[in-house]
Amino acid sequence: MTAPFVGPDGEPRCTWSAAAPEFVAYHDTEWGFPGDMLHTVLRRRAAGDSVEQIQPDLIIPTGKRKGQNHSVASIYRALAEYEKAQAYPEAVEAAHTDYAALTAGELPAPRTAGTTEPAR
């Protein structure tokens, strides 16, 4: 096993990141992070990037559109769904509970208006 590359900031990195200066930035910001689109978008938005700046770097890993970029609209849609889930955690939990009941072959109980608890 080879010794890690120590960058200009004194931090150890994988040896391949020494091949070019831009590889150090890639190593620190992209490589080794979970690959789902939402995680990448949230991380890059927190760093100050706009959706339009992030979009060209997102590649669809599998399926019919493998190798293509996500559309800006799909990125905004994922962000909106994430924000909705953060705003209404009890509704998300109720949906997960109902889904679990349905997959177990049960029929979830109806809910009363304005509550996530099943009606009694």
Quick one: pLDDT band at residue 51, thresholds 50, 70, 90? very high
Rounded Cα distance, 107 and 86, in Å: 27
What pLDDT is attached to residue 35?
55
State how far the Cα of 48 lies from the Cα of 65, in Å rounded to an integer: 28
Phi, psi of 85 (to 5 degrees): -65, -35
66-118 pLDDT, tens digit each: 778 888 898 898 899 889 888 888 888 888 888 888 888 888 878 776 655 65
Q: Is 49 left (phi over 0), alpha (psi -120 to 50) or beta?
A: beta
Task: Please state whether the predicted TM-score (pTM) of the whole model is above 0.75.
Answer: no
pLDDT tier, 2 (very low <50, low <70, confident <90, very high otherwise): low
Backbone angles phi, psi at 79, to 5 degrees: -65, -40
6, β-bridge pairs: 12
Tell me what the mean pLDDT of segment 32-59 comes to: 83
Give the pLDDT confidence score for residue 33 in this predicted structure.
56
In this prediction, residue 65 carries a pLDDT of 81
Is the pLDDT at 4 greater than 80? The verdict is: no
Q: Which amino acid is at 6?
A: V
What average pLDDT does the structure give for the chain?
80
